[in-house]
Amino acid sequence: MKNFISTLFFLTITLVSCAQPAESEIKADAPETMNYELEVVIPELTNPWGMVFLPDDSILFTEKSGSLFLFQDGLKTVIEDLPEIYVRGQGGLLDVELHPRYKENGWIYLSYASPEGKEEGGHTAIMRAKLNGNKLTNKELLYKAVPNTKKGQHWGSRIEFDHAGYLYFSIGERGQRDVNPQDITKDGGKIYRLFDDGRIPDDNPFVDINNAKKAIYSYGHRNPQGLVIHPETGVLWEHEHGPKGGDEINIIEKGKNYGWPVISYGVNYSGTKFTDITEKEGMEQPVFYWTPSIAPCGMTFVTSDKYPEWKGDLLVGSLKFKYLERLVLQDNKVIKREKLFENTQDVRNVRQAPDGYIYFSMEGTGIVKIIPKKQ
């Protein structure tokens, strides 16, 4: 299978003023040398949205169209008995994650667009289940956002566990910009936190507020499609799609408001403004924002010794510009950007496997593995 390799030029980076978060004045260019190439592991996939690695090195992955697959020993097996999935626009079968103690309990977690509820349409749901052969068993619905809507945009949705075993997931504002993200009594535009069995922690920030959604951990988000725990600090990092410009990376703190749509570094797709401010008291600033938007999807911190030049960096997929972006960090600030593997396809997800290799998925291509070039 053909490898995708991109080598261009290196450009010295200029940092922006400390008075505002670093943004696209830090230009993303290809590295001077590329010591890695791509190996296609699972070819001919349409929209491989989520993937996770099982203890036997097999890969469990989703297709947004509503299918879950197990890739093992070179073969793809369709997993049966999934919940009912509402496929519309950006919605469908989305992320998949393992319980941190998967070897002991076998729990698998799914995020998906669900039609369950009294209204027509759908909304994001979180389920856990177990894998028995090629079937899902022991299915438990942990969270279902309401109300359903026929809108096709901004479902989120990533799943992540922290070092203490809490379950986090994201739900986009479902195209209801001026209704959901700033209202803690409504689902959408939020990051949520649960115990692994769906119970709501007593110390969640809004448990004592009447009519609030008790599972909310942070709010004021647009369409979060990246969640990852920092490997050293254990803190949750998130990225989300902005409108035209203003994609963000945020460090998520309990109960904080991340501003959408009151503050933003983006504009409407037509080029008109929906807000005149980029900061406001009581609202968090992003660690980094992209203008123009790259349409970020999926991200992972590099901890593997297999990529010594990238260790400690953050990798983010770009749907819009079809490359993998490397963000070099210093004191939680982006000081350098690089475009890796340009001119491939829309990058939907990126993860570091337990064996230390980094995999990423591309729409219309499949799942690929980054490997050192043979000398």
Please name which of 347, 338, 243 lies closest in space to residue 26, comparing C-alpha atoms: 338
Please name which of 135, 29, 95 lies closest in space to residue 361, comparing C-alpha atoms: 95
User: Quick check: helix, strand or coil at residue 344?
Assistant: coil
Determine the length of the chain.
375
Neighbour count for residue 21 (Cβ, 10 Å): 20
Q: Catalytic annotation on 123?
A: no
Cα separation of 237 and 248, whole Å?
A: 11
Q: Between the CA of residue 151 and those of 157, 175, 256, 261, 291, what are the distances in Å?
A: 15, 7, 27, 18, 26
Q: Between the CA of residue 199 and those of 3, 166, 196, 214, what are the distances in Å?
A: 45, 10, 7, 10
Q: Between the CA of residue 162 and those of 32, 145, 232, what are the distances in Å?
A: 36, 22, 11
Cα separation of 59 and 84, whole Å?
A: 22
Residue 337 has what DSSP assignment?
A: E
Which amino acid belongs to residue 78? V
Cα separation of 286 and 307, whole Å?
A: 27
Neighbour count for residue 255 (Cβ, 10 Å): 12
Q: Out of 99, 123, 154, 241, which one is annotated catalytic?
A: 154
Residues taking part in catalysis:
154
